[in-house]
Structure 1
Amino acid sequence: MTDFRQPPLDDPHDVFTAQPSVSSGTGDTSDAGPRKLSRRKLLAGLGATGLAATSVMLWNGDGSRSVLADVYNDPSRKIKPVPRHAAGCCFLTTIGDLRALATPDPDIVYYVTDPGQEGFFSYDPLDTASTDNTGTILVSGGGARFKRHLSDMLSASWFGTKGDGVTANTAAFQAALNAAAGKTLYIPKQTGPFYLTGQLFVSSNTTIVLESGTIIQALDTLSRTAPYERLLRLKMVENVVIRGNGATLRMNKAVYTSGEQAHCVDISGSRNVVIENLNCNDSGGDGFYVGVYEVTPGHGPCRDIILRDCAADNNRRQGLSVISVDGLLVENCRFTNTNGTAPESGVDVEPNGQSEPLRRIRFVNCLSQGNAGQGFLTALLKPTRLSPLIDITFEGCTTRGNLYGFVINSAEEGVKAPQGEIRMIDCTAEEAQSSGFWDISNSSDSLRRTYVRCRAINCQTTMAPDSVYGFSASFVVTCSTSRPRVSVGNVEMIDCQSIDTRATALVKHGFALKKRSAQKIGDVRFFNCTTIGGNQNTYLIDSVAERVAAVHIPQPRHEVAASAALTFNWLEAAITNQPALGNITLTLPVAKAEIRYTFIVDAAFQMKLQAAGSGDLLTPDGPKSYIASSIPGSTITLRGRADLKWEIVSAVGDWLTDSGV
């Protein structure tokens, strides 16, 4: 392996003797010590790999530390010894001296020694147009262009960034980002409290690597009126990677007392973007935003975006807003302590129009905690039947200590009803102030919502008992008065659990289907949904509910000892007279489509089933008002019909002898 610390030069003594700095006068140093090494000989000695490594300062010198570590991790920013490559083999100079050089030599390599900006430059006599960006191109007063020898990595410090918490670095950072197109930009940790900058734009085909501990803070003057400004913008770009290594982008949130659009990271109309291990905190809007802000019409939505191991804390509007995307993976991310302006959610998935897609979206193993609003909110006010099919999955996600846990709301009906599916799989809502899972104002003919193995644990922490929206329940399907629907529903819950382990239980019902005004509730299916702890009813089901099914294996049993009026809360249960000490009458509610009950005679007393209206029980002997049996072992299952009649699905034993109109 080539030893880049001592390249094979013609005269080995040349490598040990430094040349004096270039003068701003004539530039004639012909009498000043050892001979100069030409650019050609230097390149031949270093080789392409050696020069590239030296230019980006990643090689090791004589000591045990790398130049990268010495330059960027030294809080004192002391001038380090000149690398052995530069000593005697080229002119040593500064950026100021090079810009003042009157007679540049295209055959000479110049080594800039400014701390944090070190590197090799050569004069390019064929370039008369490039702009001085401090980092990779320097322009002298006479118009000479000096080009830095580059590998595929640049350092932001080359462009004059200062992390003193006072200097505005907008121009320096933007110059670095522009020069990094097609390359990797390294941002070293600041020497002071943080970097300060205005709005920045990232180019396509760029990788950004931030050193651990780096803090970049926005100026307090980002525009809060259109056109809005954000700290870091990925606008209509592609193939961008940001590796945060735990670095933080943030704002001075205290000054953002109005507006909601001052985001930390804005990804709009971009594709193939990966952001890893980056914190976005204290913004005047969202930590992360994925949408189409200022995107040229026809350009298209975001596509194939990944947020992994990221965090958003104490943002004003949302930790993450998702407006428009086809392909989004949010994995192992945390969204915490959002507060300031509605909806104050950890995550808000909410398109601004019917043409904006919500497709191939997956949240995996994410946490939303301590937000003033919802943990994970999906708001569907704008999509219609003409919108792209909605496809969203939350898998293994957890909410803790939010107003609500997981919320899906406002899917309209008829021609405005969006289609598709939202799935929540193995998700957990803990200690929500109200319900853990809240499905509100989503019409029965809109997209399906499926909950699989979801758990609500110790929710309803602060809401009034039986509140008009929470109903003291863990899982709720309901409607709001502000967004009424003819019918809400199209929900399926599989193996879900309502758990209350507190000494004084606050959850009364596991699963609630309740109207708010004149709505109907339909097309809801429960499979093996259960409650644990407290004294919870499994179901709280409104009398308007229809086409509601529940399957339990084994089937739950309700024991009745005396005559009673039945409600839908005992949906699909096996109702037995086991504890009865005499004949009992059970009054059926008005029948609704697909509502079912099973009755079992265990005690040797008559169980009479009384319909709400005359002739509402359809039997082989004609319409009846009641049927009854007193023979132990007799069973019967009744199913409601759309015409408000009860029909017999199956029967064992004689239920018709003691019947009548």
Structure 2
Amino acid sequence: MKSRFCLNLVFVTGLFILSLNVKAQEFKVTEIPVSLVGQYLKTSNPNISKIKNLFPADRKFKNSKDHTAVVQKIIDANKVIFLPDFKIFINSKGLKIGSDKKIIFRKNSSIQSVGFANGRFSDVVKIYNAQNVEIVNAVIVGNRYSKTKSQTGQWSAGIAVLNSKNVTISNAKISDTFGDGIFIGSEDGGFSENVVVDGGWINKARRNGISVTSAKNVVLKNILISNTYGHDPQCGIDIEPSWEKDIVNNILLKNIYTFHNQVAGIAINLNEFNRQNASNIKKVDITIDKHTDEGSRHGLLTSLNTEDLPHDAQGLIKIKNADWRQNQVPYWFTPNRHSIKIEFSGIVIDHLQKKKDFETKVKNIENVKLISE
């Protein structure tokens, strides 16, 4: 069903501001080519011949409809955990991963959330206040379509990293989350540090594929994110502090492929760093290298100093070697004056007129530079 409406997404504290008259169409999930998925999600069968099975071997455990208590107890008691080689069901408590843990999914391992989202901290896998954590080959199906109880809010990530450091998530397949696929940051003014997400596929997240709210030294690379829709911001990756205490420093996105996301492939919103006074001005450092977007409304979206305050975030955003395809507007930005510098280089846009429009616009924006190839 088609309709016309004025889309006012206010890009503050988790929401976008887009004041656009757009011709909207109900979002339709698009099937992802198998060949594309295979470039980012690798098949893996860890060598477990010498690994002791930590879980009950009886049929009662395997056939259980709620494995949460048993799995949590084993995670708490061990440093290296190979999950059972079958689907396990995890309730609303989620699984808490403490410090110095390595969680490995076997060939047929997966987590199915059978809980429901009920505000903050409703995440499926919870890396809270921890360090030295590694998650390998995760397969997580969220509770987006849960019918057990009415769900509220925008939370319940597949994996949430809060106030943690030295965390690696490799080759994860995450789908159908009520909130984000992966959340990296804090909920109390802290930050996460030294976080790497390498490889994998995030599909049909309701909020964002990946959110980064408060962190430093983060690397997101070799990731496919598709079909993000349902609750604003609805982007493949959204870098967006939640409040003034957050930090966004040394964030690297490399070889990211965003496919058919409702609003944008990648979004950067720094409005929570706007200031009336010159105290505690935040410095931001973000690099996006080799980003491909196919079919999202925007390849890239930036929202900066929308309140036109005297002081806002400083620092540098670099976007290089991007390839934006089949977008309504490849680069959408707020027109307000901003202090942070933005550099574009090696930008490919598949539509000639849209490429010319992009080049004309960015050349006329203060503190934005288009570097010739």
TM band (smaller chain): 0.7 to 0.9
- Secondary structure of the structure 1 residue equivalent to 2:145: helix
Matched residue, 1:177: 75
Question: Aligned residue for 2:271?
Answer: 381
**Aligned-partner Cα distance in 2 for 1:427–1:341:** 26
Q: For each residue in 1:192-226, what CA deviation from the matched residue of structure 2 results, as whole angstroms up to 9, or x when unmatched?
A: xx21112110010011111023221111x334235
Match of 1:253 in 2: 144
| 2:361 paired residue number | 513
Counterpart of 2:18 in structure 1 is none
CA–CA distance in structure 1, aligned partners of residues 58 and 347 of structure 2: 51
Alignment of 1:190-589 (within 5 A): 190=86, 194-198=87-91, 199-219=94-114, 221-226=115-120, 228-244=121-137, 247-255=138-146, 258-293=152-187, 295=188, 300-384=190-274, 386-412=280-306, 413-432=308-327, 434-444=328-338, 446-458=339-351, 474=354, 498=355, 509-513=357-361, 522-528=366-372
Residues 1:231 and 1:387: Cα distance change in structure 2 (over 3 Å): farther
The CA distance in 2 between the partners of 1:163 and 1:452, in whole Å, is 53
* CA–CA distance in structure 2, aligned partners of residues 157 and 374 of structure 1: 45
User: Deviations 1:34-64 (Å, cap 9, x if unpaired)?
Assistant: xxxxxxxxxxxxxxxxxxxxxxx845xxxxx
Inter-CA distance 270–311: structure 2 relative to 1 (3 Å threshold): same
Q: CA offsets, 1:309-350, max 9 Å, x none?
A: 122100101110111101100110111101111111111110
Q: Secondary structure at the match of 1:509?
A: helix
TM-score, scaled to structure 2: 0.78
Cα distance, 1:418 vs structure 2: 0.9
Determine if contact 2:117/2:143 at 8 Å carries over to the other structure: no
**One-letter identity of the residue aligned with 2:103:** I
2:98 alignment partner AA: S
C-alpha distance in 1 between matches for 2:156 and 2:196: 21
TM norm structure 1: 0.45
CA contact (8 A) 2:119 2:154 kept: no
CA distance in 2, matches of 1:301, 1:161: 41
Q: What residue number does 1:155 align with? A: 54
On the 8 A contact 1:309/1:333 being kept in 2, the answer is: yes
> Structure 1 331/162 Cα, relative in aligned 2: closer, same or farther at 3 Å?
farther
Name the CA distance, whole Å, in 1 between partners of 2:351 and 2:95: 44
Alpha-carbon separation, structure 1, partners of 2:258 and 2:60:
35
| Cα pair 2:85 2:106 within 8 Å, conserved | yes
Shift of residue 448 of structure 1?
Answer: 0.3
AA partner of residue 184 (structure 1): V
Can you give the 5+ residue segments of structure 1 that lack an aligned partner in the other structure?
1-56, 60-67, 69-152, 460-472, 475-497, 499-507, 515-519, 530-661
Contact 2:172 2:200 in 1 (8 A): yes
Distance 2:130 2:58 in 1: 23
Q: Which amino acid aligns with 2:122?
A: E
Mark the CA change 1:273 to 1:451 in structure 2 (over 3 Å): closer, same or farther: same
Q: State the 1:513 CA deviation.
A: 2.9
Structure with the bigger percentage of strand: 2
- Alignment-mate amino acid for residue 189 of structure 1: D
Q: Is the 8 A contact 2:253 2:288 kept in 1?
A: yes
Partner SS state of residue 366, structure 1: strand
AA aligned opposite 1:335: I
Q: 1:195 to 1:427 in 2, by over 3 A?
A: same
What are the ranges of 5 or more consecutive residues in structure 2 without an aligned counterpart?
Answer: 1-47
> Deviations 1:130-150 (Å, cap 9, x if unpaired)?
xxxxxxxxxxxxxxxxxxxxx
Q: 1:230 to 1:161 in 2, by over 3 A?
A: farther
Change in CA separation of 1:340 and 1:510 when aligned onto 2, cut-off 3 Å: closer
* CA 370–387 in structure 1, closer or farther in 2 if over 3 Å, else same: same
RMSD: 2.6
- Output one character per residue of 1:227-271: Cα deviation in whole Å (capped at 9) or x when no partner: x31100000000001111xx4111242237642101111100000
**SS of aligned partner of 2:211:** strand
Report the Cα distance in structure 2 between the residues aligned to 1:422 and 1:388, rounded to whole angstroms. 13
Relative to structure 1, the CA distance from residue 162 to residue 347 in structure 2 (aligned partners, 3 Å threshold; closer, same or farther) is: farther
2:256 & 2:330 partners in 1: Cα distance?
16
Q: 1:523 to 1:346 in 2, by over 3 A?
A: closer
**What SS does the corresponding residue of 1:382 show, helix, strand or coil?**
helix
Letter in 2 for 1:357: I
Superposed displacement of residue 524, structure 1: 4.8
Q: Which amino acid aligns with 1:393?
A: T
For 2:66 and 2:234, the matched residues in 1 are separated by 30
Q: Distance in 2 between matches of 1:525 and 1:360?
A: 20
Whole-angstrom CA distance in 1 between matches of 2:222 and 2:310: 37
Q: Matches of 2:62 and 2:229 in 1, distance apart?
A: 29
Asked if the contact 2:317–2:341 (Cα under 8 Å) also holds between the matched residues in 1, the reply is yes
Partners of 1:402 and 1:249 lie apart in 2 by 24
Maintained 8 Å contact 2:302/2:333: yes
Contact 2:96 2:127 in 1 (8 A): yes
Which structure exhibits the higher relative contact order, with contacts defined as CA atoms closer than 8 Å and separated by 6 or more residues? 2
Distance 1:265 1:449 in 2: 30
**TM-aligned CA distance change 1:210 to 1:415, over 3 Å:** same
Is contact 1:390–1:419 with CA below 8 Å preserved after alignment? Answer: yes
Partner of 1:315: helix, strand, or coil?
A: coil
Alpha-carbon contact 2:290-2:321 (below 8 Å) kept: yes
Q: For 2:371 and 2:165, locate their aligned partners in 1 and report how far apart those are by CA, in whole Å.
A: 40
Q: Is the 8 A contact 1:354 1:387 kept in 2?
A: no
Shift of 1:285: 0.6
Distance in 1 between the 2:88 and 2:232 partners?
30
Name the CA distance, whole Å, in 2 between partners of 1:417 and 1:160: 59
- In the other structure, the counterpart of 1:658 is none
Q: How far 1:525 sits from its partner (Å)? A: 4.4
